[in-house]
Structures are given as C-alpha cells and as structure tokens.
Amino acid sequence: MELFRIKNDIPFMSYGRITTAISLVTFILAVFFLATKGLNYGVDFTGGTVMEVHYPQAANIDGIRKAIDSIGLKDATVQNFGTSSDVLIRLPLKKDMSIAQLSETVGNALKTADANVEVRRVESVGSQVGDELYSNGGLALLLVCAGIMIYLAIRFEWRFAVAAIIANMHDVVIILGFFAFFQWEFNLTVLAAILAVLGYSVNESVVVFDRVRENFRKMRKASVVQVIDNAITRTMSRTIITHAMTQTMVGSMLLFGGEVLHNFALALTIGILFGIYSSVLVACPIAMWLGVSRANLIGDVEKKSTDQEAVEATP
C-alpha cells in the first residue's frame, strides 16, 4: 500500500556525512549527560518501600498522589493493583526515615484524605533486588543486540549487521541521554520500552536492507549510492504509514495513559522518532562506508546461476 509515490529518487546518501555527523554529536552529548548526571533510577533499581492500600470504593488515584505530594514524597509511584479499589504505592528510600516511619507518615496522609483507607501490606525492596534487576536488564540488552546482529548477518551480510547494531545502539543511548538530561525516572517500564525500540528499529532496517538487496539484482548498472537512494525512496510511503500509526498509538498512551504509562510512552516516542532517522540516515551510510556491494549480497547466487547455466549448455 502506498499513499504517494515519488518519481525521482531522493539523494539521501549525498547527505550521509552531514547526518552521521549530527548523529555523532547527539550520541556524544547523550554519553556526556549519562556520565555527568547519570540516570534517575526508580524504586525497581534502587530499592525502597512498597505499600498496598485498599478502599471500599474505587480509589481516587489523583487524590492519593496529591496526598503523598503534600508530605514531600513527589517521587512516589501510584497505580491500581488488581482492582480499582486496590492501590500499589512505591516509595523511594529516605535516608532520614526508617521504613516504619515512612509507611506510617504515608498512611496518616492517606487517612487524612480518606478515613476509609486500609493499609494491607508494607514491604521493603532491598538494594540487592535492585542490583539484580540492573544486571539482568543489562544482560537482556546485550542478548537482544547479539540476537539482532546474528540474524542480520545470516539474512543479509555482516556489514549490514554491524550498521544496524550501530544504528540501534545510537537510538538506545539517545533515549538514555534524554532520561539523564531531564532526570526522568528510569524504571522497569522504561527498560521494557528500550527493548521494544530495539526490535522496532531493526524492523525498519530490515525493510530497507531487503529493498537494497532486491535493487542490486534489478539495477545492475547502478552504483551503490543509487541503489541505496532508490531503496529508501521506494520504502518511504510504507515508512510514513507505519510510523504515523505507531506514533498515534504511543501518543495516546503518552497523553491519556496516566503517570504509570507516561515514562514508558515517552521512551517509545523518542525511540520511534530517532529510529526512523537512524534506520535511514545512519544505518545505510555506515553500510555503504563498510563497503557493501552487489558482490557481497548476490555474488554467490549469480556464480551458482552461471555455473548451472554452463552445465546445462554442455552437450
């Protein structure tokens, strides 16, 4: 399906040096903010206190947040748990307060707002659990990257695999850079969004790379630059449709999903926007500079075809 069709190929690769320079500067800035400011880890990673409270009626989440904010705990996370009358509250560690004091302070604030509240459970999330989540999250990122690289190396060629991984890591680091610069809370939902962005971004790269390989078979007299420009131009309609629909869904989560989904949707929004850019204007120039050519992708196929024709022509 195509909403529009561009007659003349857009010379994307002629801007390759400029786009990769912009990407490099953005990447360096993201690394700088990560090194200087660091990530604002949530309770999932740093440890803290988890409270489960119950209301006889549907809980007023906004009212609960205001009650907790009024006692200076603006970093708390409030969300429904199981039913609309059960609420889970995650509280970060406070150096000057014990777990008992913290839970009692929050409980009193909630009872002041609504006397019918019932505190059912108070648990401490230790730093050991946070360290385990941190290491497991890093391992998940490494395994995803390794799987993507192996898949692309098998399906296409190692130059495309390297280009796609560089482009994908470019997206991940920039997302982390945004979270470090603005000090948005980094929790498990954000990590899930980053893993989703990796898969989403590589899908766009696969579509473009597949068209590049197809063009090498069809455009036998064209240069590598012409082949790549044609591949990007011919997939542009599909790219715009796919990303517009995805961004519409993610935007609805960002605007109407509430606090629980806000950072998740925010990470996806950044990843989708930069994923479009990196798949086209980072991955393709890198693949070209690594020396991708017709011989790399279809040389073996053409050789086998030529050998077969020679055998058939032999009397």
Domain boundaries, the chain: 12-39+129-302, 48-125
Q: Which of 81-95, 180-194, 301-315 has the lowest mean pLDDT?
A: 301-315
Predicted confidence at residue 128, as pLDDT, reads: 55
Predicted confidence at residue 3, as pLDDT, reads: 63
Q: How many CB atoms lie within 10 A of CB 309?
A: 10
Average per-residue pLDDT for the chain: 82
Comparison of pLDDT for 194 and 135, the residue scoring more:
194
Predicted confidence at residue 82, as pLDDT, reads: 74
Is the per-residue pLDDT at 201 higher than 70?
A: yes
Residue 2's pLDDT band, with cuts at 50, 70 and 90, is low
Predicted confidence at residue 238, as pLDDT, reads: 83
Predicted confidence at residue 306, as pLDDT, reads: 41
Comparison of pLDDT for 69 and 132, the residue scoring more:
69
The pLDDT tens digits for 212-266 are 888 888 888 888 899 999 999 888 888 888 888 999 999 999 998 877 788 999 9
Q: How large is the average pLDDT for residues 110-137?
A: 78
Tokens 């007023």 appear where?
60
The pLDDT tens digits for 255-279 are 988 777 889 999 999 998 888 888 8
The residues, ordered by sequence, that sit 6+ positions from 41 with a Cβ below 8 Å of its Cβ are 130, 134, 185, 186, 187
Which fold is adopted by the domain 48-125? Alpha-Beta Plaits (3.30.70)
CATH superfamily of 12-39+129-302: Multidrug efflux transporter AcrB transmembrane domain (1.20.1640.10)
Question: By the 8 A CB rule, do 173 and 30 touch?
Answer: yes
253, two tokens: 């989560």
What is the pTM (predicted TM-score) of this model?
0.78
Is the per-residue pLDDT at 176 higher than 90?
A: yes
Comparison of pLDDT for 295 and 172, the residue scoring more:
172
Longest Cα–Cα distance of the chain, Å, equals 98
Predicted confidence at residue 311, as pLDDT, reads: 38
Q: Coil, helix or strand for 3? A: coil
Predicted confidence at residue 130, as pLDDT, reads: 59
Predicted confidence at residue 35, as pLDDT, reads: 94
Q: How far apart are CA 263 and CA 59, in angstroms?
A: 22
Question: By the 8 A CB rule, do 267 and 86 touch?
Answer: no
Is the per-residue pLDDT at 133 higher than 80?
A: no
Predicted confidence at residue 43, as pLDDT, reads: 75
Q: In Å, what is the CA distance from 75 to each residue of 48, 78, 88, 227? A: 11, 10, 14, 51
Q: How large is the average pLDDT for residues 53-80?
A: 87
The residues, ordered by sequence, that sit 6+ positions from 162 with a Cβ below 8 Å of its Cβ are 149, 286, 287, 290
Question: By the 8 A CB rule, do 76 and 111 touch?
Answer: no
Q: How large is the average pLDDT for residues 101-105?
A: 86
